[in-house]
Amino acid sequence: MSVSARSAALAALGDVLRKRRPLDAALNTALGAADLSARDAGFANTIVYETLRRFGQLDGLVHHFVPKSPPPHKAGPTLEILLAGACELVFLDVAPHAAVDGANRLAAADPKAVHFKPLINAALRRIAREGKDVAAAQDAGRLNLPDWLWARWSEVFGEATTRAIAQAHLIVAPLDIAGAEDHAELRALPASQMLPGGILRLHEAGRTENLPGFAEGAWWVQDFAASLPVRLLGDMRGQTVIDLCAAPGGKTAQLVRAGAHVVAVEREPSRAAVLRGNLARLRMAADIVQADVRDYKPAPHAPLVLLDAPCSATGTIRRHPDLPWIKSAADIFACTDTASELIDAAAEMVAENGLLVFAVCSLEPEEGFEQIARFLERHQEFRREALCAEEMLGLSELISPEGDLRTLPCHFAPSGGMDGFYAARLRRK
C-alpha cells in the first residue's frame, strides 16, 4: 500500500485523538486531500477504524514497548505512527517489513517525528516479534472502553453485560439494508442474512453505492435496531406522522413505505439537503420542513409524532469507534438537557389520544428511561403505553421491565450485533 494511504490515515487519527474531531469528518477531509485510489482509500479507512476500535489495547501495547512516551510537544505524530503501525502488525496482519517501512517513511516526512524515527523503528520491530503474544494476554474488553464508560455501564447493566457490549464493539459492524426483501440480487450475495422484520444483513458488503439496487433506489441503509422505533407507532396507513430530527431519513423512508403522510422536520440545512437527496434516490415523497423542533407549530396537531432525539450516540460505538475517546460524561448531560426541550415541544404537536414515540441511540439512562420518567412527571396528560413481544417481532429480550424498547450492541451477537437504542411510546390521554 502507498505511503499516501498511511499518511491520510495518520492525518485522520491526529484529528480525532488530538482535536476530538468526529471520525467521519476527519476521514472525509484526509481522504479528500490525498486523492487516493479506491484500494488505498479502503486501506486508510481500515487502519483508522481498527486503531480506534482497539485504541485501549494499542495504547497499552505501545506503552509496554515504549514505557516512557516522547513529550507530545516535541514528538509530533510519533504516538499516532506507533499506534497505527502496531495496529497493522497485530490486528491487520500486514507484513512486518511493509508496516515498519511505512511507519519509518511517515516519521521521516514529519519535522518533529523524524527525530524519533530510531525509536519508532525499534519499537515496531519488537512489536512485530512479540506484539501478538502481549495482545493475547490483554483484557481487551476492559481496555477498549474508557474508564468513564466502563464505570457507567457496569453500574447500569452489570459487569458481565458491559463486557459483552465491549466485545460486540470489536466486531466490524455488518451492513443492514431495509426495503430489499424482494431484491433477489442482494439476497444472493455471499454472507447475506435475512433478519426479522425484513432487514437484510450483509457481512461482506463492499462499497454501498456499488451494490445492486442502490442507484435505482430499491433500498436504504438502516441498522436493525434503528428500524424498531417506527414499529411503536403501529398501523399508520393514511395517517399523518410528524418525523422530528428526521435526517438522514431512514425512519422517514420507513414511514412513507408504511403508507403514512410524513412531515419531516430537520433544523440543519446540510442535513435537510441529505434528507432530500436520500428521499429523491428512493423516489419517495414527504413534506420536508427546515425548522427547529422547538419553534415548529403544526396545525392541526398530528395523531402520530416520532422524535429521534440528538444524543450522545453511545449505542452506535460499533460503527463509530471514535466516540468513547472524543466524548465524556459532560456531553451526556448537555444532550439530556437539549432532548428535554425537544420532547416538551414534540408533546405539544400530538393530538388528543395520539401517540408520541421518543427514541435515542444511546445506552445512557439519563437520555432514555430517566428522561421519560421526568417527562411523565411534567406532563400528566401523557401515559406510557407498554410494548408487547409481538410488536417487537417476538424479541421479548428487547423490551425493558417498564415496557420500553431497549436494545444493546450485544443482542444478536452471533450475527454481528446491533446498535443500542432506547424508545418509549407515550399516549396522550
Provide DSSP, 180-243: -TT-HHHHTSTTEEEPGGG-EEESS---GGGSTTTTTT--EE--TGGGSGGGGG---TT-EEEE
Q: What are the two backbone dihedrals, phi and then psi, of residue 95, each rounded to the nearest 5 degrees?
A: -55, 135
- How many Å separate Cα 86 from the centre of its chain? 25
Nearest to 141 by CA among 156, 127, 160: 160
Q: Which three cell numbers stand for residue 373?
A: 420518567
Can you tell me the distance from the alpha carbon of 136 to that of 413, in angstroms, rounded to the nearest whole number? 21
Can you tell me the distance from the alpha carbon of 275 to that of 252, in angstroms, rounded to the nearest whole number? 9
Can you tell me the distance from the alpha carbon of 180 to that of 332, in angstroms, rounded to the nearest whole number? 35
Can you tell me the distance from the alpha carbon of 44 to that of 40, in angstroms, rounded to the nearest whole number? 6
Between the alpha carbon of residue 93 and those of residues 44, 89, 132, 183, 288, the distances in Å are 15, 5, 10, 36, 47
Q: What's the N-to-C CA distance of the chain in angstroms?
A: 62
Can you tell me the distance from the alpha carbon of 151 to that of 56, in angstroms, rounded to the nearest whole number? 15
Q: Which of 245, 311, 335, 361 is catalytic?
A: 361
Provide DSSP, 387-421: --GGGGTT-GGGB-TTS-EE--TTTTGGGT-----
Can you tell me the distance from the alpha carbon of 413 to that of 216, in angstroms, rounded to the nearest whole number? 32
Let me know if 361 is a catalytic residue: yes
Q: Would you name the residues annotated as active-site residues?
A: 361
